[in-house]
Amino acid sequence: MTHTWFEAHRETLDAALAASESRGYWSAYPEVPSGRIYGEDAKKDGIVAWKSRFGTQMGSDQPGITGWVDTERSPYGIETGIEYPTVDLDVVLPAAAAAADAWKHADIETRTGVCLEILHRINRRSFEMAFAVMHTTGQGFMMAFQAGGPHAQDRGLEAVTYGYREMTRCPASATWTKRVSKTDTITLEKTWRIVPRGIAVTVGCSTFPTWNGYPGIFASLVTGNAVIVKPHPGAVLPLALTVEIAREVFAEAGFDPNVMTLACDSSEAPIAQDLVVRPEVGLVDFTGGNVFGDWIESNATQARVYTEKAGVNSIVLDGTDDLRGTTGNIAFSLCLYSGQMCTTPQNIYIPETGITTPDGVLSFDDTAAAIVKAVDWFVSDPARAAEVLGAVQSEATLDRVGAAASAGGTVLRDSGSVENERFPNARTATPLILKVDASDVDVYQREIFGPVVCIVRTASTDESIQLAASTARTRGGLTAAVWSTDGDVLDQAADALTDAGVSTSCNLAGQIWMNQSAAFSDYHGSGVNPAGNASLCDAAFVADRFRFVASRVPVAAPVEESVT
């Protein structure tokens, strides 16, 4: 075993270990898409590398290829025409199992070093990855670079860090001496090894394929499992690139590259249902909608399943000492990536009596109007709108916005398209803003994925808090935000919402938004409401991916040091 990579990346790992304990700000991979950091030609090279894939077949070194699919359609309307392999599971699963044998027998430092090297190489190709993410998910370039690149890599590193930490918490061996009578002792030499669950499957999503995929992929990998990556048909390239880079590193390290494999499919011939219930599969990581997530949880009972499903995120608006700052902050959260983040707020609860501001009480209608105005401002400049909104990943989301406009409530702001100068065929939609009453539960107490916002008129902030918390409990929820000038209200809201498993932001102002979740500090997903059972990244996310198993043998009793 070589520990070259482990030693090369040791400082990064040590800093990551420290950050995961202190939970202050830390990042391993620079988020600024700057030539000074990534190399003067990095952006240009990234574009060239990305475009060089157009019209080609990726993953031709995969085992068990049965055909090719071309399922991606850029939300920006450009043609890429990349083909990916469909595979025979009866070939891929045995190939993964065979590759896993040497991988699981490698020592902790070797596996950790390989994972860190993979992440390092992915980081060096962050521009290429940014274009891959942008033109599959529809994210704006900056978000695609950051969330698809360095932030996803940080989340992957976080998983490696937790895996390393968990695996090293049990010593490799220990001497156990027990007195069994007045004169006798028994001494056992115990040796522990890491036994992984076997084969892990990651079922990718279409909106954040790397950010949501890397935690499970790297948590499974570092703990000794082989990983089969099943991308969403609409967002394959970011994960195909990831698998390609990983396989290069495995081969260089002397491992069978089938430690990580790519299994693609199409919506016409999906394979995920067959794959996740295979007896060889011991781990499943899923990010996506509730219907399929629930199905996996109920059916893949042979595996340990980690899910991040959907939820309804809430804002409780009670008061602010900076109306413009608050509505601007809210509007950015609503507009960012056209509301396609799992952390995007959907429901904004405002009391019918209005909110407190430095200029006195602002009525419910005027508060709602201020939010609409702030959103209007964001989308009024086409260049800003194109960057912030990005494009809409799927036609289904666009249809959902259309349906929501006539499904109840009053339309305060209709959704529309925005002009994208560089990509005239981009699929765009600005936020639809509805006004509903607290009693219109059928309208707003369900997830409406995409740029749809419900401003909910409540009797009081008490009711706002109660509705936000109960909706999270019953429908799931990842994030919430509350604005109030009353400390008791903030405490009450934070208590109720965190109790419902929702990460809660209070009185956000400036360049920080409720949608944001930072590796090494923010847990993402609580696992205590229906939005999923996993949290990125805590001990529970990694510790169950392997076991310590012992062998023990009697040895002579250790000689006690005499005290002289």
Which residues ranging from 422 to 451 are in contact with a second copy (CB under 8 A)? none
Does residue number 380 form part of the binding site for a second copy (CB under 8 A)?
A: no
CA-nearest of 313, 312, 306, 343 to 534 is 306
- Among 441, 459, 509, 557, the residue binding a second copy under the rule CB under 8 A is 509
Residues in region 535-554 near a second copy by CB under 8 A = 535, 538-540, 543-544, 547-554
Does residue number 325 form part of the binding site for a second copy (CB under 8 A)?
A: no
Residue 352 CA, distance from chain mean position: 36
Tokens of 343: 């952390």
Give, in degrees to the nearest 5, the angle at Cα 324 between 321 and 326: 65
The torsion angles phi and psi of 528, rounded to 5 degrees, stand at -115, 15
Strand runs (DSSP E) across 120-160, as ranges? none
Residues in region 191-230 near a second copy by CB under 8 A = 191-193, 195-198
Nearest distance in Å: CB 294, a second copy: 9
**Contact of 453 with 348, CB cutoff 8 Å:** yes
Q: Which range binds a second copy by CB under 8 A, 50-58, 208-216, 405-413, 517-525? A: 517-525
Nearest distance in Å: CB 497, a second copy: 8
Nearest distance in Å: CB 204, a second copy: 23
Nearest distance in Å: CB 104, a second copy: 8
d(CA 450, CA 339) in angstroms, rounded, equals 5
Does residue number 24 form part of the binding site for a second copy (CB under 8 A)?
A: yes
Question: What are the residues facing 120 on neighbouring strands?
Answer: none
Please, which residue, 258 or 504, has the CB nearer to a second copy? 504
Max Cα separation, the chain? 89
CB atoms within 10 A of CB 458: 23
Tokens of 228: 């089969």
Does residue number 510 form part of the binding site for a second copy (CB under 8 A)?
A: yes
Q: Which range binds a second copy by CB under 8 A, 244-252, 371-379, 443-451, 490-498? A: 490-498
Nearest distance in Å: CB 503, a second copy: 5
Please, which residue, 44 or 105, has the CB nearer to a second copy? 105
Does residue number 522 form part of the binding site for a second copy (CB under 8 A)?
A: yes
Does residue number 507 form part of the binding site for a second copy (CB under 8 A)?
A: yes
Which of helix, strand or coil describes residue 504?
A: strand
Please, which residue, 98 or 188, has the CB nearer to a second copy? 188
Token pair 């429901």 in the structure block, residue: 347
Please, which residue, 196 or 231, has the CB nearer to a second copy? 196
DSSP 449: -
Residues in region 232-251 near a second copy by CB under 8 A = none
**Contact of 75 with 103, CB cutoff 8 Å:** no
Residue 298 vs residues 203, 212, 303, 308: alpha-carbon distances, Å: 16, 21, 11, 15
Nearest distance in Å: CB 479, a second copy: 10
Residues in region 40-99 near a second copy by CB under 8 A = none
Does residue number 37 form part of the binding site for a second copy (CB under 8 A)?
A: no
Overall residue count recorded for the chain in this entry: 564
Q: Which positions from 160 to 179 touch a second copy by CB under 8 A, shown as an x/- string? A: ------x--xxx--xxxxx-
Residue 495 vs residues 470, 480, 485, 499: alpha-carbon distances, Å: 13, 12, 16, 6
Does residue number 533 form part of the binding site for a second copy (CB under 8 A)?
A: yes
Helices (H), 23-51: 35-38, 42-51
Residues in region 304-323 near a second copy by CB under 8 A = 304
Number of amino acids touching a second copy (CB under 8 A) = 71
Does residue number 557 form part of the binding site for a second copy (CB under 8 A)?
A: no
Does residue number 21 form part of the binding site for a second copy (CB under 8 A)?
A: yes
Does residue number 28 form part of the binding site for a second copy (CB under 8 A)?
A: no
Residue 500 CA, distance from chain mean position: 20
Nearest distance in Å: CB 550, a second copy: 5
d(CA 363, CA 368) in angstroms, rounded, equals 9
- The set of residues, in sequence order, having a beta carbon less than 8 Å from that of 294 and lying 6+ positions away, is 309
CA atoms within 13 A on the CB side of 250: 24
Does residue number 387 form part of the binding site for a second copy (CB under 8 A)?
A: no
Residues in region 256-315 near a second copy by CB under 8 A = 282, 297-298, 301, 304
Please, which residue, 443 or 531, has the CB nearer to a second copy? 531
Token pair 């900056």 in the structure block, residue: 142
Does residue number 512 form part of the binding site for a second copy (CB under 8 A)?
A: yes
